Structure 1
Amino acid sequence: MTVLSDRFRAEIDAHVADLRRRRAQVWPPGVPREVRYPLGEITLTAHLRHWARERGDRPAFVVGDRTLSYAQLDEQSDRLAAHLVADGVRPGDRVAVFMGNSLEFVLAFHAILKAGAVHVPVNPMFRGEEVRYELEDTGAQVAVVASALREVFESGRTDDVRTVFDETAIAEVVARDDLPGPGDDGDLDAGDLDVLAALNYTGGTTGLPKGCEHTQRHMLYTAASALTAMNTPPDDVSLVFLPIFWIAGEDAALLLPLVNGSTCVLMPRWDVAEAWDLIERHRVTTLVAPVDSWIPLLDRAEADGRDLSSLRTPLAVSFVTKLDAALRQRFTQVTGSPGILREAAFGMTETHTMDTFTGGLADRDLTARPIFCGLPVPGTDIVIVDRETGHLLPVGEEGEIAVRSPSLLTAYRGRPDATADVLQDGWLLTGDSGQLDESGCLSYLGRHKEMLKVNGMSVFPTEVEFLLGRHPRIAGAGVLGMPDPRTGERAVAFVMLASGATDTADDVVAWCRENMAPYKVPEVRLVDSLPLTATGKVIKRELADRLGPLR
């Protein structure tokens, strides 16, 4: 664990000032240096109220053949919020949302905030024990659950959950004209930028998911700083297929369009043919997608002569395949768009993500190693710290990325020690490795923590071990990762069965598929024993030796 030193504290002000001077030399023309809040620093509900009055007919969300205008979103979320309050939801209560990308998720998000409650998005790929863990950790008493996921939810439901709403219940509530409409209930206009508004779960040093406490101020700053850095105009139309339970999807779909008063075209999942159809039909201007999604999109567009010229803000994420000059050039040739395909941003759940931007820095990004993340967004500082000494490192040297911004988590829920480990003197110690160049631009070098990336999703070996520990016939397990040409990385579990158990590796995998999200399901190797330290910890390096040179 990194501990910031007295020397860090003595040098930090001068060091940050020097980095800001360096960054000023390459700051893209036309990008403001200070954060611009389109409507000022007001709550998300106040933003929705404003756009409902000023652009009431403008589509806020489009999902398939369904469109929800700003006026409709405000009215329907008011009714759902009033119903939540009537059901006993009080300020500070946690409300879990277990849904995929949908208009119902959007309505629930706004209704929860209007009720003064805490939004708890739960990964819709979770299985029973994973759902139970987050419900127990939050103490949620109310849940909004997709009907298709109801059986899974019930398998992990806790006794605390007294009420569950599905799409049918939401449709009935929002159709009721006896519930308050926009502004009819003054309590729904109340709001505080600085109280707990969301618990966004991530993994941590223990591997078990930790709830990052975020406020509306964190959300607002994240959206406003990203909009400022990208110079996003009000007529923007974004296409989002990233899961909106995920912090990056929440930002892209729920926050940036709302703060900007623009339109989000929301996809339940990625589909190439549907994507280019939506881009053409709605003249989509912004799309964030992994490189592995951009490649087939351009392939199909070129083969079928589709018009993607509206894409002026194309952003790529280098999870498995990395962005290169050839793909950037191909985007320009196929689309004819003036936009430049570039890397999206560095970020994490603890910072509410979107901590950097790459606009205006084209070409230099492709020479950085291995992933160029660009400049900190306005209002954010990034430095590199020596893990051993806690001292600041000069430009060019590799170390731990530390971030200071107005969107840092307030705390990990119920984990003061873990909070104190990562939040020091107003800086977040990320556990990730990075390097700053002479201009102060960040390159992401890799993960210092054990975390794996499977198709871009975070997998913590200790979390998989924890879940395997709930199997009644598993005595112990050690999990680590190895490269995978299809998914980037994959988890491998060395499993020791309990005495007398006759399960096969396939049996264990089948259990994992019932109790874990698909991307967490490991390859299973049964072993007679696990190498342990004197204190009972699995010796991972000995397991790694068994994987051989492929690792």
Structure 2
Amino acid sequence: MKHPQSLDSISQGCQQYWPPGAPTQAQYPIGRRPLNQYLAHWAQQVPNKSALEFYGYSLSFAELDALSNQFAHYLASIGIVKGDRVALYLPNCPQFNIAYFGVMKAGAIHVPVSPLSKQMELMHQLGDSQPKAVVSFDRLLEFMQPVCEQLNIDNLLVTSISELRPEQPTIPLPELFDAAKLDPVGGQVDFFSAIKDMPSSAPSVKVELDDVAALNYTGGTTGLPKGCVHTHANIIDTVAAYSPLVYGDYDGNASEQVMCTFLPEFWIAGENTGILFPMFSGNTLVLLARWDCVAFLEAVEHYQVNVCNLLVDSIDEILNHPLVNDFNLESLNCTPCISFIKKLNPDYRQRWRELTGTTLFEAAYGMTETHTCDTFTKGFQEDNFDLKIEPAFVGMPVPGTQFKICDLASEQELPIGSEGEIWIKSPTLFQGYWNKPEDNQRLLKDGWFRTGDLGMITEHGFVRYLGRFKEMIKVNGMSVFPTEIEAMLGQNEAIAACGVIGRKDTKKGQVPVAFLTLKPGAKQSEAELNQWARNAMAVYKVPEIRILQQLPMTATGKVRKKDLEDLL
């Protein structure tokens, strides 16, 4: 009988099958220090090098450093001190990157908020994190302003994308540039006006690795989203373990690679690709406000993009676009991908290789709690090795990260080759959920985190993902938790009880379906409740509504979701 054995990047199995030349330890080009110090370093070493390109609007490393310093000084001027929270309610734009580093330099805590969130979701996240200041996209003020008023958040800054409209765009502009800038009213402050007269020198706040840097909100198995507490150490350790494995070794000089991202920066994967990875290596970042196939193709050709993390759905659109052969994509040399609705397969890989000369590979296995980069698959693509292992091969753990498989009931570690719950221990592991001591006690065990995912470890040291133990629904790649929707639907005065499950959908992957009963006397129709939900939550969370006379219940008063699945 095989004995229990946890898996890390230096175990015997991993050593034997480790890709040749891949680093076995985390690398820190200029030392293990907060990422905002990397920005200051590049601003000194390569001040005029482009740090960010946005449709023709450019920021050098020196300019990004100075603007983020100014924002840090502004935060101090309104009373923000170390440990205070600052929320960013923005789409992808340079202001996000400026504010992110300004928050870090001020010693404050970054709270990214989805720009898809509406009033009920904002009330929960901001009510939980209690930020002292908010930076909001001007076109989203109709949702944010009343929330700030209700929560007594006095410092509301606004900004727009249209004010950055270049005279000569380098690539097609999204419609966001067409919307005229809305002037601040009712006590709001214009972002760029607020910081323009602030000192551009570095603030005096001392930021330590163990200081909390961010509250990244994620869904949970119970209740509404929870804030994952990440330190500056969690952030830099994430990049130092993953980036050298996937994007190449660094010698302390600014990389000549050009990175591109369209992933939303409020999302943990978008934070990695739009902020952390490029700053760590001194890359130029080409930032897209959103996915647009032609804009991406033009960006690759114009900026000679080398690296981009893509969704397989995006790859499918590129490969089948009628104009794809009009563009030169030969600059691409590293294209990790993420399988959500569409999955990476040999056909996609072969066609992509013929088009670009580079090989697709899955980016990583991970979650918000661990900053998403727990494994890597690069180096296992020969003869489609990674695609032949079923179910999903997610690679080997990155340096410093450990995996073990435990029994769901007893929590005891299982032998190699057994199926069970994936547990992770890593320098990137969050410090716990914000204001959730009971969840922390249940899920964090002696430095290990219970992921709620099912998987196994092979005798060769490979990690395989078998599925979700949790009830998470994936809608267009976005995580949706039934309990979150149930909690929000429960606030509708007409709804007595509800149960939410996922339904397979050929276009979106899954869609949520809410089975519910109405309170006596309530007359709302399914269409009316659906419209209410559209006003209450992000569009990808809005469920299909099915009104029942009675929900199937257990003896203990819980909804029998298996019976709901049968109703589908």
Q: Normalising by structure 1, report the TM-score.
A: 0.93
> What's the counterpart of residue 481 of structure 1?
502
Mark the CA change 1:496 to 1:15 in structure 2 (over 3 Å): closer, same or farther: closer
Question: Once the 2 structures are TM-superposed, how far is the Cα of residue 17 of structure 1 from its aligned partner?
Answer: 7.2
Matched, 1:33 2:24: yes
Cα distance in 1, alignment partners of residues 9 and 428 from structure 2: 23
Of 196, 206, 218, the match for 2:212: 196
Q: Are 1:237 and 2:258 an aligned pair?
A: yes
Please tell me whether residue 60 in structure 1 is matched to residue 51 in structure 2.
yes
* Partners of 1:371 and 1:423 in 2: CA distance: 26
CA distance in 1, matches of 2:402, 2:330: 35
1:186 aligns with 2:204: yes
Q: Distance in 2 between matches of 1:264 and 1:418?
A: 37
Cα distance in 2 for residues equivalent to 1:17 and 1:431: 19
CA deviation string 1:420-450 (max 9, x = no partner): 2211111111001112223211121211111
Q: Which residue of the partner structure matches residue 532 of structure 1?
A: 553
Q: Where does residue 243 of structure 2 map in the other structure?
A: 227
Cα distance in 1 for partners of 2:73, 2:420 equals 50
Match of 1:5 in 2: none
Contact 1:343 1:373 in 2 (8 A): yes
Aligned to 1:544: 565
Partner SS state of residue 59, structure 2: strand
Percent sequence identity over aligned pairs: 40
Most deviating of 15-24 and 502-511? 15-24
Question: Within the alignment, does 1:359 sit opposite 2:352 as a pair?
Answer: no
Report the secondary structure of 1:186's partner residue. coil
Amino acid in structure 2 at the alignment position of 1:360: G
Q: 2:153 corresponds to which letter in structure 1?
A: V
Q: What does residue range 359-378 of structure 1 map to in structure 2 within 5 Å? A: 359-362=378-381, 363-378=384-399
Which one-letter code corresponds to 1:137 in the other structure? Answer: D
| Cα separation, 1, equivalents of 2:315 and 2:53 | 22
The 8 Å contact of residues 79 and 173 in structure 1, kept in 2 or not, is answered as no
Partners of 1:369 and 1:444 within 8 A in 2: no
Correspondences of 1:300-449 after superposition (within 5 Å): 300=321, 303-335=324-356, 337=357, 339-362=358-381, 363-449=384-470
Shift of 1:107: 1.0
Look up the match of 2:70: 79
Report if the CA contact (8 A) 1:290-1:319 is conserved.
yes
Per the TM alignment, residue 57 of structure 1 is displaced from its structure 2 partner at its CA by: 1.0
Matched, 1:159 2:151: yes
Distance 1:15 1:539, change over 3 A: closer
Q: Assess if the C-alpha contact under 8 Å between 1:91 and 1:115 holds in 2.
A: yes
Inter-CA distance 46–525: structure 2 relative to 1 (3 Å threshold):
same
> Aligned pair in 2 of structure 1 residues 75, 19: CA closer, same or farther (>3 Å)?
closer
Which residue identity lines up with residue 348 of structure 1 in the other structure? M
- 2:92 matched to which residue of 1? 101
The CA distance in 1 between the partners of 2:6 and 2:278, in whole Å, is 35
Which segment is superposed worse, 153-162 or 22-31?
Answer: 153-162
SS at match of 1:390: coil
Report SS of the residue matched to 1:493.
Answer: strand
Shift of 1:297: 1.2
Q: Which moved more, 1:377-386 or 1:389-398?
A: 389-398
Q: Which amino acid aligns with 2:157?
A: F
Matched residues in 1 for 2:147 and 2:543: separation? 21
- The CA distance in 1 between the partners of 2:496 and 2:333, in whole Å, is 54
Structure 1 pair 131–412 and aligned structure 2 pair: CA distance change class (3 A): same
| CA offset digits 1:133-159 (Å, max 9, x no partner) | 001101112111000111111243332
Q: How many residues align?
A: 530
Q: Does 1:205 align with 2:227?
A: no
Judge conservation of contact 1:371–1:445 (CA < 8 Å) in 2: yes
Q: Is the 8 A contact 1:276 1:301 kept in 2?
A: no
CA contact (8 A) 1:482 1:489 kept: yes
Q: Is the 8 A contact 1:343 1:372 kept in 2?
A: no
AA matched with 1:162:
D
> Are the structure 2 counterparts of residues 457 and 207 from structure 1 closer, same or farther at C-alpha, using a change threshold of 3 Å?
farther
Structure 1 residue 395, shift from structure 2 partner: 3.0
State the alpha-carbon separation in 2 of the partners of residues 468 and 62 from structure 1: 41
1:538 positional shift: 1.7
SS in 2 for 1:172: helix
Q: 1:303 deviation in Å?
A: 4.3
What CA distance in whole angstroms lies between the structure 2 residues aligned with 1:522 and 1:78? Answer: 43
Cα distance in 2 for partners of 1:347, 1:493 equals: 28
Deviation at 1:15, TM superposition (A): 4.2
Amino acid at match of 1:24: Q
**3-state SS of the aligned residue for 1:220?**
helix
Gaps of 5+ in 2: 161-189
Q: TM-score, normalised by structure 2?
A: 0.90
The answer to whether the 8 Å contact 1:59/1:68 transfers is yes
Match of 2:117 among 99, 103, 126: 126
The answer to whether the aligner puts 1:254 opposite 2:245 as a matched pair is no
Structure 1's 471 and 393: CA in aligned 2 closer, same or farther, altered over 3 A?
same
CA-CA distance at 1:389 after TM superposition: 2.7
User: Alpha-carbon deviations, 1:229-266, whole Å to 9, x = none?
Assistant: 11436112111111110111101111111111111111
Contact 1:141 1:160 in 2 (8 A): no
* Secondary structure of 2:229 counterpart: strand
Q: State whether structure 2 residue 314 is matched by structure 1 residue 296.
A: no
Query: Are 2:8 and 2:14, in contact at CA under 8 Å, matched by a contact in 1?
Result: no
Structure 1, 228-237 or 265-274: larger mean CA deviation: 228-237
Question: What stretches of structure 1 of length at least 5 have no aligned partner?
Answer: 1-7
Shift of 1:173: 2.9
Corresponding residue SS for 2:336: strand
Task: Select which of 106, 131, 145 maps to 1:140.
Answer: 131
- Residue 457 in structure 1 maps to residue 478 in structure 2: yes
Contact 1:51 1:261 in 2 (8 A): yes
Q: Secondary structure at the match of 2:99?
A: helix
CA deviation string 1:482-519 (max 9, x = no partner): 21111111111012122212111011111111111111
Is contact 2:9-2:399 (8 Å) kept?
no
Report if aligned partners of 1:469, 1:476 keep a CA contact under 8 Å in 2: yes
1:50, distance to aligned residue in structure 2 (A) = 0.5
In 2, Cα distance between equivalents of 1:207 and 1:491: 16
